[in-house]
Amino acid sequence: MLQVQDSAARGQGGFKVDISRGERIGRVSSEWFSRPDDERYLSLSSLYAAVRARSERAVTRTVQSSAIRVEAQSNDVSRMTLALPGGAAPVTPTHWSFGQLASLVGAPAGYLRDLPAPLAAINLQHGLLSHRAEQVKTLETEDGRTELRAVNGPDYGRIWDHELVAAVMKIAGDGVGDTRWKVPGTLDWSTMMHNPFVDITKDTTTLYASDRDVFLFLVDDTHPIEAGRLPNGDPDLYFRGFYCWNSEVGAKTLGMATFFLRAVCMNRNIWGAEGFEEISIRHSKFAASRFAHEAAPALSRFADSSPGTFVAGIRAAREQVAARTDEDRETFLRKRGFSKVETAKIIATVLGEEGHPPASVFDFVQGITALARARPHQDGRLELEARGAKLLADVR
C-alpha cells in the first residue's frame, strides 16, 4: 500500500491515474448539475449551521386530517393556506408539501395546481374530510411566515438533515482539508493527473442542501492507495470516497455509499470506482434508532478502516488465472451469461487496453466494466457493472 504525504502531492501537482479501469459513477455529477448557487456550501460547518437553524425553527405535530381547513386567499394556488388544529396562524404549503398533501388524499397535484385556487381548495378539503388514514404528521417552519414543509404518515420516523451532517463532521471536520476527508480535487484530462488541491468554490463544492434534502460527497485524495501495477509499470492508484444523502421532509431515504475511486473530474463524475457498497434507511418508525446504531457507525468504520482488505482482493484478482487459451476465455464468459457478441467485445477490449488477452479474473472484470461504460442506457450499464463486481467479490 502506498501512502503519499500532502507535501509530496503538492510538489508533483497531483497523482497519475488510469481511469480506463473500474466504473464511472454519475450520481454526484447529477447533483452538481442540478444545484443552484444557494444550495451549494463551501464547508461542512456552514452547511450544518443552515440545516440546523431550520430545524430549530421547526414544529412537528400529529393532527387529524379531517380537522385541517383549506383556505384560498386569491385565485392563485401558491397563496393557498391551511389552518391546522392547535396552530396559532395559517400555514403556507411549500411546493413539495402541497404535492404530499395531494398524494395523501389521492388527488393529482399537477391537476390541482392548474385549477383556480377556490376550486382546488374545495377538492383538497373534500379529500381531507374523507381521508381514511385520519392522522397525519406535519413539519412547520417559521421564517418570516409559517411554512408547511412536509406532510407524512403518523409513523414517519424523521431523521433530521443536521444529524447526518453532524455524523459526517465527526470524521471529516469542516471537510476542507483540516482532516483526511475533504471536498475532492479535480482530474486534469490533458495529463491524467488528479490534483487534490483545488480551491473550494461554488463551482467545485460537493456539499449541497435544499429545502427538501442534503447531499455530501467527500474523499481522501491526498493519501493514494496502490493496488498493483499498470501494464506500463506505474502504480495503480486509488482513493477512498463516500457520499451520503437525506431528506427530513420525506423526499428520499437516508443513505450512504462507500467506494474506492481513481479520480473526480470537474463535472464531479467519479471515475475508476471499485468496491462500491451502499446502504439506505427508510424513514419508518424506528429510522432514527437505525441511523444511530447502523449508518453512523458504518461511516466511522469506513473512515477509520485499513484498505488492506480491498488491496488484497484486487491483488488476488490479478493473480488468479481464469483462462489460458482462447477457448478458456470464451468458456469463462459464456458460462457467466455473456452473449457471444459481448464475449468477443470483452476479450478485444482487454487485448486493446492491456496489450494481452484476458487471463486473470481482474482482466475480465476490467473488460466487463469497459463494455458497461459504452452502454447508452443506464439499466444495461448497471447490470453489466454488477456482473463484473460479482466476479471480483467471488475472488475475495
**What is the pTM for the complete model shown?**
0.81
Which of 295, 46, 76, 69 has its CA nearest to residue 164? 295
Reduce the DSSP state of residue 270 to 3 states and report it. strand
How many angstroms separate the Cα of 31 from the Cα of each of 94, 110, 189, 343, 381?
21, 24, 22, 34, 20
Mind listing the pLDDT tens digit for each residue in 293-339?
778 888 888 887 777 777 777 777 777 888 888 888 888 888 888 88
CB-CB contact of 320 with 361 (8 Å)? yes
pLDDT in tens, 132-172: 777 889 999 887 678 899 998 888 889 999 999 999 999 99
Q: Cell 480491498 belongs to which residue?
A: 310
pLDDT category at 11 given cuts 50, 70, 90 is very low
